[in-house]
Structures are given as C-alpha cells and as structure tokens.
Amino acid sequence: MSNTTPAKRQAVAPALAVALALGMTAMSGLASAQTSNAQASQAMTNSQPTSDTLSARQQAIPLIASFMAASDMPRLNTALHQGLDAGLTISEAKEILVQLYAYAGFPRSLNALGELLKVVEARKQRGTQDAPGREPSRAIPTGDALLEAGTANQTKISGAPVKGPVFDFAPVINQFLQAHLFGGIFERDNLDWQSRQLATWVPWPRCRAWKPSCARTCGPACGWA
C-alpha cells in the first residue's frame, strides 16, 4: 500500500539520487570489509549478503537519514512513509533514528522520533498495519564488557584498531565511541550492520566537505573509511 502522492515522490527525487549514490558507496565499502574478514563475518548474526542493487527498503534508509540530519520534517515524513511501505519495520525505523543521535545530535534524533510517531499513528488511523519488528535478541553488556564489545565492533568495521594523534591526545573520545556507538548501539541486533552503515554514511560527506582533516582522522574511528 502506497501512502505518498506523485508530487511528494517528485519532491524527494533529487535527494534519492544522491542518497542512492551514497548508499552504493557504503555498500561497496562494507562488501570489501566483509571479504577481508570472511570467517568473522560468518560468525556474526547481524551480517547479510551484499548486492550491487539496493532494495526498496535499503533505498529508503539514506533518505530517512538525510532528511533527519537536515531537520527537514516534511520530507522526513514522506521518507518514513516510503520506508514503511517498502518493508522497514517500526522497530527498524526507530533504530535508524536512535543511532543517528551519535552523528546528528540528540535534538534531531528526538524530533525525528516524534515525526515517526506521528507517521505510525496516521497510518494506523488509515488502517495500515505496519510490522512492529523486534527488540534486540540479547542483553547489551555493561561496564568493561561493553567497552570490550564496542572496541571489537569498531575494529571489525574499520578493518584495524583505531589509532591516531587525536585519540592519543584525548583518548576518552575513542572510549566514548567504543562504549556508546559501537557498544551500546552496534551491539543491538534489531538492525543489521549494512542498514546501519547506509544510515550513517549520509552525514559523512558533509563532515568531509566541512573539515577534510577531521574526516581523515575521525572517519576510520566512526566506521566511515
């Protein structure tokens, strides 16, 4: 069931073209990382086969992330409808917006979650039954175990342990990345890692254009390299 008008679809077409280009780059990078870590990837329950073609569900993820990061609520509303129509579960849509707090900030994440709530309620009123999805299948570790898990996830995504002068200068920032982002968020298996990278790749070109030196330093740590 489609809940977007032709005019709304036309309005997001330019953004879709950009988002698809970004998404394909992210998928290509992830495929290379998975090839070099084949045995480890097979042991992980959250890895999925990669493809040269993005599904409609995958195409929706960069759009959602892009409009969330730009605080463009009208287009985010449309993109959320399209994502749910394409097969995103409510849980997956929530997880995308929750994860992006680490990249776009809490205010944008909270505003976007509020917009998702409006979308879900509006669809219910129209009789659309969206799949609720699931919560993480395992408990998220805490304390030292969380930091250890996050460090392992960061290393797997980056392809090597993350090091650099910035992290030597302020090691706590990498500890926050490892515990909060790669631990507290990436340990949640109700959204696969391919989808997570599609979502997080969208803010990355903005950072690279704004501060190339920052991009070179922080990209590997954040899984964008």
The C-alpha atoms of residue 216 and residue 122 are separated, in whole angstroms, by: 42
pLDDT at 6 over 60: no
CB 192 within 8 A of CB 73: no
Summary mean pLDDT of the chain: 78
Nearest residue to 202 (alpha-carbon basis) of 79, 37, 32: 79
The C-alpha atoms of residue 198 and residue 95 are separated, in whole angstroms, by: 13
* pLDDT given at position 12: 44
Higher pLDDT, 38 or 58: 58
* pLDDT given at position 51: 55
* pLDDT given at position 73: 97
CB 114 within 8 A of CB 71: no
Q: What is the mean pLDDT of residues 32-36?
A: 36
For residue 166, count CB atoms less than 10 angstroms from its CB and return exposed for 0-12, middle for 13-18, buried for 19 or more. middle
pLDDT at 45 over 70: no
Kindly report, as residue ranges, where domains of CATH 1.20.1290.10 are found in the chain.
6-125
Percent of the chain with pLDDT strictly greater than 90: 61
Which CATH code for domain 6-125? 1.20.1290.10
pLDDT band at 200; cut points 50, 70, 90? confident
Kindly tell me the sign of the dihedral angle through the C-alpha atoms of 108, 114, 119, 120. positive
- Give the alpha-carbon dihedral of 4, 91, 98, 7, to 10 degrees: 0
